[in-house]
């Protein structure tokens, strides 16, 4: 990790937004993404006790993807169609994958989710990492391909090779590096992890 570049990015960021993510200049962006509001609904929709109702879980998955400003308009209808087309067995697998990812064995859940989304050619980083990010915005990271590749290159993150198909190995390595980077900047940059990667994206431009 290039710590000098990170500290320079921090200085540049505060030059434009002295109060960090509490700065008025960033309020329109924060309001548009509404990650806090979606995160609160996520805690209810994907609470452990909700997973006894598989169909509702799958519908909630499609609902969150549709509401999210982090997912492209091109992918949203594909996810909705996928949930409608799924067999009962596939819906069960999607629900199991989400339960494991959020509440039990994260690595197992990640693999199940990738496998079931692959059937519909939707095993993409943005879709796989969206739900865990919203569920725990201070712990999980949302991974957007272009931003991720740029961060790796610009901040000299060694040992990371981005590939289009999501893998748990890359996910854990990359998120650990992001957590380390986050520890070196001011708390005013925010606890929200998408905000942190947004800060990196803005300062690379």
- Residue pLDDT, tens place only, 134-173: 999 999 999 999 999 999 999 999 999 999 999 999 999 9
Average pLDDT of every residue of the chain: 93
DSSP string, 104-147: S-HHHHHHHHHHHHHTTT---HHHHHHHHHHHTTTT-----HHH
Q: What is the DSSP letter of 165?
A: S
Taking 80 as the threshold, does the pLDDT of residue 190 lie above it?
no
Mean local confidence (pLDDT), 74-100: 96
Taking 80 as the threshold, does the pLDDT of residue 16 lie above it?
yes
pLDDT given for residue 82 in this prediction: 96
pTM of the model: 0.91
Mean local confidence (pLDDT), 24-32: 83
pLDDT band, very low/low/confident/very high, at 23 (cuts 50, 70, 90): confident
Mean local confidence (pLDDT), 177-198: 91
Mean local confidence (pLDDT), 128-139: 94
Q: Helix 145-154 and helix 125-135: axis angle, to 10°?
A: 90
Rounded CA-CA distance 55/51 in Å is 9
Cβ–Cβ < 8 Å for 134, 105? no
């Amino acid at each position: 990790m290039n710590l000098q570049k990170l500290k320079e990015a921090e200085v540049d960021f505060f030059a434009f937004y002295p109060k960090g993510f509490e700065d008025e200049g960033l309020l329109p962006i924060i309001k548009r993404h509404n990650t806090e509001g979606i995160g609160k609904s996520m805690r209810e929709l994907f609470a452990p006790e909700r997973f006894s109702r598989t169909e509702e879980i799958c519908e909630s998955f499609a609902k969150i993807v549709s509401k999210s400003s982090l997912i492209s308009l091109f992918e949203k209808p594909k996810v909705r169609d996928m949930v409608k087309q799924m067999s009962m067995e596939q819906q069960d697998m999607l629900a199991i994958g989400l339960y494991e990812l959020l509440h039990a064995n994260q690595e197992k859940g990640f693999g199940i989710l990738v496998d079931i989304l692959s059937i519909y050619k939707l095993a993409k980083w943005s879709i796989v990492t969206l739900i865990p990010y919203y569920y725990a915005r201070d712990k999980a990271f949302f991974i957007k391909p272009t931003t991720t590749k740029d961060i790796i290159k610009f901040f000299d993150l060694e040992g990371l090779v981005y590939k289009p198909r999501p893998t748990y190995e890359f996910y854990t390595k990359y998120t650990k590096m992001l957590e380390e980077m986050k520890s070196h900047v001011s708390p005013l940059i925010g606890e929200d992890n998408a905000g942190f990667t947004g800060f990196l994206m803005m300062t690379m431009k």
